[in-house]
Amino acid sequence: MRNWKLKIVDFQFLIAARDNAGAFDLRMKIKDKAAVITGASRGVGKATALALAQGGCSVLINYSRSRKEAEQTAGEVRALGVNAALFAGDVSEDRVCREMMDAAAQAFGRLDILINNAGTTRFISHGNFDEVHGDDWDRIFGVNVKGPFQCVRAARKYLEASGEGVVINVSSVAGIIGAGSSIPYCASKAALINMTISLARALGPKIRVNSVAPGFIAGHWTQEGLGGDYETVKKKAEERSALGRVCQPEDVAAAILSLITGSELITGQTMVCDGGFLVGPRG
């Protein structure tokens, strides 16, 4: 009986030790590694860059137009004691993707993590078919689908050399339920979710590929797109969600980090991070 009690105490001690060291263990999984984050000047990209930097991971911050904000993000990353690099360019251009991955490998001496976060849309009522132009399809799919593929293709040799390569695609619940800023946007995010599965199959076993599908994200992007309707749409999303909340950029960054630092047997999956929006309102 005495030995049985001792085993219980030992087990509880191990649990406590694991809990206390949990954050340290997660940091050890990304410490001294290097990541590329597309669209990282603000929002989810910036929050993810800071989360990785806190764990000791160097970050290349890609941006298309927001240079001032990208420089600020880089400064905050460096303040956390890791290296940061900036790379301006549109991921819909293959040349940009190739040069960006080469720049990351040159700056950091390695590349372990790729986060395809850059995205674009145009807010168009789903019933207004005539407002959807060919340029909308080309631009949205160019950034949201072709861009991630081109980034993965360009990063592949570096991620394979890492031995622990990870790709995270930032998709959206719009790609699951077909409701969002526009029909082309919803279709592009559905394509990205599907492509995540194809890439996971093609790149295994050396590289894991997963996606995170956020719901409504509070912040500049949705504010700019929705304009005066922002608060109304946000409130409706909160009311529709089981947790009564919408995403903050930091919530999505935490989900991304969990797929990077968690189980090494997860690949080809999409994690929904939406406050329970798809689950529905509280009963």
Is 158 in the active site? no
Q: Choosing from 63, 158, 185, 230, which is the catalytic residue?
A: 185
Is the CB of residue 232 less than 8 Å from the CB of residue 207?
A: no
Please, what is the end-to-end C-alpha distance for the chain in angstroms? 47
Rounded CA separation 193/187 (Å)? 10
Q: Which two tokens stand for residue 167?
A: 């790709």
* Residue 243 CB neighbours (<10 A): 12
Is the CB of residue 198 less than 8 Å from the CB of residue 207?
A: no
* Residue 245 CB neighbours (<10 A): 17
* Residue 269 CB neighbours (<10 A): 15
Which stretches within 43-128 are classed as H helix?
Answer: 43-54, 67-79, 94-108
Residue 205 three-state SS? coil
Rounded CA separation 97/87 (Å)? 10
Active site residue ranges: 185
